[in-house]
């Protein structure tokens, strides 16, 4: 007597005009997001609203572009909403208007960021790549106001940035990981107090960290207290809360069954955290470190109060004033000399490039699931042989 499969067999439906025909058992058919008819309705509404706005502003004495854009969007929303309401009904009209509103809101939010990046690239890239790599090697100690921009450079600021952020990362990573493990593995009054303090530190302005380090480290020593080491302490104070909170959330994602299995085998809690939890969440923890470094790279106020800045190279972060990229950009961009202002734009281009590279690295690292390895890191295992 044969066993019958009790699972329901779904009869595949013939693909319609709004259904994607490419379907597999693992990938069901889905409706297209953009049909030809919807495209004509959308672009027709855009053209109709633009024509109405142009005709209306033609009779006005002034035609401000911002007002025309706002009226264009409002007119498009009215025309598109009425058209989709007449053709498809209220539900589809609301859905399409909500989609357009979300897309426009995202575009408005991204516009300042895109404008800043484009401005920095347009004005800073020619300075950096003129007589490349001179701008990345020279410092500002021998550059006169009448010299071309490539006579000066941001080499000393790049060195100071890497030394200060590197020292701050060296302090912050073990403290933040230990604190995150404590907050994720325990739940008592002390852990709640620590979490509250960390949340308060996340809202602290960066200048407060600089003033704090200035008062207890720089001021007692006078001018000899300015150093890259003092700046690294201020940057570490700013990096700690974001790294702790990010690492804590990553550790909470680790399934509790892994902890329970390790504890059931007789492993102590510290070994469970060290050998099970941390390796499982390594990609997320690395993302937390990268986000903290990206935050510290762009800080200006703490370095202004602690490192003070210098126009020449200082390879010793424990002695004497030292420059870094945000502070050097701030000091040169306020100069009345046009060449030094261009130097500031070049430094801003380098700074933005470093920050963008760090955030891209954080996205790439954070896109993998906890405990997973990248394809190029996976070991090739022999395929299982199925007996015939």
Cite the DSSP H helix spans in 254-324. 256-264, 269-272, 278-280, 282-297, 301-306
The rounded distance, in Å, linking the Cα atoms of 240 and 183 is 14
Cα atoms in the Cβ-side hemisphere of radius 13 Å centred on 22:
1
The pLDDT assigned to 386 comes to 47
Q: Of 105, 120, 135, which residue is a domain's last?
A: 120
Both 299 and 251 in one domain: the answer is: yes
The rounded distance, in Å, linking the Cα atoms of 329 and 346 is 8
Report which of residues 276 and 376 the model is more confident about: 276
Both 104 and 161 in one domain: the answer is: no
For residue range 245-281, what is the model confidence (pLDDT) as tens digits? 999 998 888 888 888 888 888 888 888 888 888 888 8
Neighbour tally for 385: CB within 10 Å: 6
Both 180 and 316 in one domain: the answer is: yes
| Confidence at 370, pLDDT banded by 50, 70, 90 | low
342 in a structural domain: yes
Both 168 and 107 in one domain: the answer is: no
- CATH number of the domain encompassing residue 199: 1.10.3720.10
Both 301 and 342 in one domain: the answer is: yes
97 in a structural domain: yes
Quick one: how far is CA 207 from the chain centroid? 22
| Mean pLDDT of the 332-356 span | 88
3-state secondary structure of 130: coil
DSSP one-letter code for 59: T
Query: Does the pLDDT value for residue 376 go beyond 50?
Result: no
The rounded distance, in Å, linking the Cα atoms of 318 and 312 is 16
16 in a structural domain: no
The rounded distance, in Å, linking the Cα atoms of 160 and 232 is 10
Annotate 13-58 with three-state secondary structure.
Answer: CCCCCCECCCCECCECCCECCCCHHHHHHHHHHHHHHHHHHHHHHH
Cα-only R_g, the chain: 29
- If we measure between CA atoms, which residue out of 75, 138, 105, 119 comes closest to residue 328? 138
Report which of residues 223 and 285 the model is more confident about: 285
Both 311 and 270 in one domain: the answer is: yes
Share above pLDDT 90 across residues of the chain, in percent, rounded to a whole number: 23
326 in a structural domain: yes
CA 334-338-343 angle, to 5 degrees, is: 70
Map tokens 């889905």 to a residue.
30
- If we measure between CA atoms, which residue out of 332, 360, 362, 335 comes closest to residue 124? 332
Both 353 and 236 in one domain: the answer is: yes
Query: Does the pLDDT value for residue 385 go beyond 50?
Result: no
- C-alpha distances out from residue 354 to 290, 293, 296, 350, 361, Å: 11, 10, 11, 6, 11
Instruction: Provide the b/e sequence for 65-103 (b: ≥16 CB within 10 Å).
Output: eeebeebbbebbbebbbebbbeeeeeeebeebbeebeee
For the record, the structure tokens of 183 come out as 């907050």
For residue range 177-209, what is the model confidence (pLDDT) as tens digits? 999 999 988 888 898 999 999 988 888 888 999
What's the domain count of the chain?
2
128 in a structural domain: no
| Confidence at 372, pLDDT banded by 50, 70, 90 | low
For residue range 27-63, what is the model confidence (pLDDT) as tens digits? 555 455 566 678 888 888 888 888 888 888 777 766 7
134 in a structural domain: no
pTM for the whole structure = 0.74
Both 68 and 214 in one domain: the answer is: no
344 in a structural domain: yes
The pLDDT assigned to 7 comes to 44
Cβ-Cβ contacts under 8 Å for 134 (sequence gap 6 or more): 150, 151, 153
Both 181 and 259 in one domain: the answer is: yes
90 in a structural domain: yes
The rounded distance, in Å, linking the Cα atoms of 108 and 115 is 11
- C-alpha distances out from residue 12 to 4, 8, 25, 101, 311, Å: 21, 12, 10, 36, 72
Q: Domain containing 267: what range?
A: 149-370
The rounded distance, in Å, linking the Cα atoms of 63 and 54 is 9
DSSP one-letter code for 188: S
Both 96 and 172 in one domain: the answer is: no
- If we measure between CA atoms, which residue out of 9, 87, 1 comes closest to residue 42? 87
Both 204 and 113 in one domain: the answer is: no
The pLDDT assigned to 349 comes to 93
Query: Does the pLDDT value for residue 282 go beyond 70?
Result: yes
Both 58 and 99 in one domain: the answer is: yes
């Amino acid at each position: 007597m044969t066993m019958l499969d009790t699972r329901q067999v779904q009869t595949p439906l013939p693909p319609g005009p709004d259904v994607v025909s490419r379907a597999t058992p693992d990938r069901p058919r889905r409706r297209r997001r953009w049909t030809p008819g919807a495209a004509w309705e959308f672009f027709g509404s855009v053209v109709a609203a633009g024509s109405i706005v142009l005709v209306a502003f033609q009779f006005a004495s002034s035609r401000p572009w911002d007002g025309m854009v706002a009226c264009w969007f409002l007119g498009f929303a009215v025309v598109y909403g009425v058209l989709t309401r007449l053709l498809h009904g209220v539900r589809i009209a609301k859905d399409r208007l909500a989609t357009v509103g979300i897309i426009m809101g995202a575009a408005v939010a991204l516009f300042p960021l895109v404008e800043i990046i484009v401005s920095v690239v347009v004005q800073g890239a020619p300075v950096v790549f003129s007589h490349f790599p001179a701008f990345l090697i020279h410092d500002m100690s021998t550059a006169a106001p009448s010299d071309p921009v490539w006579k000066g450079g941001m080499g000393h600021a790049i060195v100071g940035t890497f030394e200060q952020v590197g020292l701050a990362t060296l302090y912050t990573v073990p403290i933040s990981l230990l604190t995150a493990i404590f907050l994720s593995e325990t739940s008592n009054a002390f852990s709640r107090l620590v979490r509250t303090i960390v949340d308060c530190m996340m809202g602290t302005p960066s200048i407060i960290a600089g003033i704090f380090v200035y008062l207890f480290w720089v001021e007692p020593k006078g001018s000899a207290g300015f150093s890259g080491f003092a700046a690294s302490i201020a940057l570490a104070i700013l990096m700690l809360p974001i790294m702790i909170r990010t690492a804590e959330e990553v550790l909470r994602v680790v399934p509790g069954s892994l902890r329970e299995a390790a504890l059931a085998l007789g492993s102590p809690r510290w070994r469970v955290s060290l050998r099970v939890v941390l390796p499982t969440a390594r990609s997320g923890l690395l993302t937390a470190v990268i986000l903290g470094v990206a935050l510290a790279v762009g800080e200006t106020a703490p370095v202004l109060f602690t490192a003070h800045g210098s126009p020449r190279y200082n390879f010793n972060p424990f002695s004497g004033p030292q420059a870094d990229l945000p502070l050097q950009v701030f000091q040169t961009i306020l100069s009345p000399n046009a060449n030094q202002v261009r130097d500031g734009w070049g430094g801003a281009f380098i700074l933005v490039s470093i920050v963008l590279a760090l955030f891209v690295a954080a996205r790439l690292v954070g896109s993998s699931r906890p405990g997973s390895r990248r394809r190029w890191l996976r070991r090739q295992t022999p395929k299982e042989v199925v007996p015939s």
